Structure 1
Amino acid sequence: MHTIQQFASHTPIWVWAILAFLLWRGIDALKPSKTSLARLAVVPAIFTVWGLWSLHHRYGASIEAWGVWLLGIAIGAGIGWLLVRRQSISFDAIDGHLHRTADYSLLPLLILTFIVKYAFEAALATAPALADDTVFRIAHLVVSGGFTGVFIGKFLHYLRVASLSRQQAIPT
């Protein structure tokens, strides 16, 4: 219990704010909704910025690290695309909003992503030498990139639905 209190007390307030926001977004996704592409871009943007910060802070300009992270993003994006491809999603080209069914995968995915990213960051904060351990570094970068990629992949699918709807709405 003491260790958990130490981690919690040394965690910056912005991390708790991100957790609260992610929980709110996950709960909000449990019901069908009408939303903008800009609003759907927020979660992938948060995880991308967090990943970029971590990458720069932990590994600097290492081309290897960036490459492994981007590989993780590519893998995750494929998974994210698959997660939403069967959802009922439509785009209203007039008001620019997506209409989607409830997304029951988002809340658990957000919680899992946050916990995993937090655990990697906590491990690196308490044992910075882990950044030099090849197995840990590859796991950190692939998993971190992978989770980020899942949200990017979902968003790319939403963009595709919007793009196809706009093309169909253009009179010929």
Structure 2
Amino acid sequence: MSSDAATPSFLDIVTHTPLWVWPLILYALYAGWARTRDRIVSPTRLFALPVILVALDVFELARNGLSLQATVGLAGGIVAGLLAGLTAARHTPVRALDDGRLAVKGHWLPFAIVLAIVVVSYVRGVALGIDPSLATNTRFLLANAILAGFLPALMLARTFGSLPRGYVFG
């Protein structure tokens, strides 16, 4: 990228990123990386990250205004994410333990999903910071909404779908 006023350099983008964003990015990457390891967790802990990611994306879209395009894109992304997540769940079963906790095999897909969510969110913020008119651009809104629906729904559906058949929260 050039360093003229119209196109900020990579350094400009990084140095103008609000400080609170960096710990959030680091935590998201750590949480995604932790899912690459075998672990034993409570059901609440298993679902915490996917639920938080869904809530953050829906909040972000609502904050920017849910146009018809964004709503349609979000719905389409959610449906596609749910289908993809349920398909992916077949390859990563979770085992229920006698004490109610869950034995989860580590997998790189959650890390990839978290990384994609972080990258998409960061790029969205940078793009809107550089060109605020994108907030009314139909293609931008639609693509953003599709990804905002797809990625968290993929993670949430994969988590639900990996639970043992007949598993009851309790």
Q: TM range, normalised to the smaller chain? A: 0.7 to 0.9
1:57 to 56, 63, 66: 63
Q: 1:106 is matched with which residue?
A: 110
CA distance in structure 2 between the partners assigned to 1:156 and 1:13 by the alignment: 34
One-letter amino acid of the structure 1 residue matched with residue 136 of structure 2: D
What number of residue pairs does the alignment pair up? 163
- What value does the CA root-mean-square deviation take over the aligned residues? 2.3
Q: Is the 8 A contact 2:32 2:111 kept in 1?
A: yes
Task: Please say which of residues 65-74 and 97-106 is displaced more in the overlay.
Answer: 65-74
For structure 2, list consecutive stretches of 5 or more residues without a partner in the other structure. 4-8
1:40 and 2:42 matched:
no
1:79 and 2:84 matched:
yes
CA distance in structure 1 between the partners assigned to 2:20 and 2:58 by the alignment: 16
Q: Is the 8 A contact 2:43 2:102 kept in 1?
A: yes
TM-aligned CA distance change 1:13 to 1:70, over 3 Å: farther
Superposed displacement of residue 63, structure 1: 4.7
TM-score normalized by the length of structure 2: 0.82
CA distance in structure 1 between the partners assigned to 2:48 and 2:16 by the alignment: 26
2:99 to 95, 101, 122: 95
The percent of aligned pairs where both chains have the same amino acid is: 22
TM-score normalized by the length of structure 1: 0.81
Q: Which is helix-richer, 1 or 2?
A: 1
1:16 to 3, 12, 22: 22
CA distance in structure 1 between the partners assigned to 2:156 and 2:137 by the alignment: 28
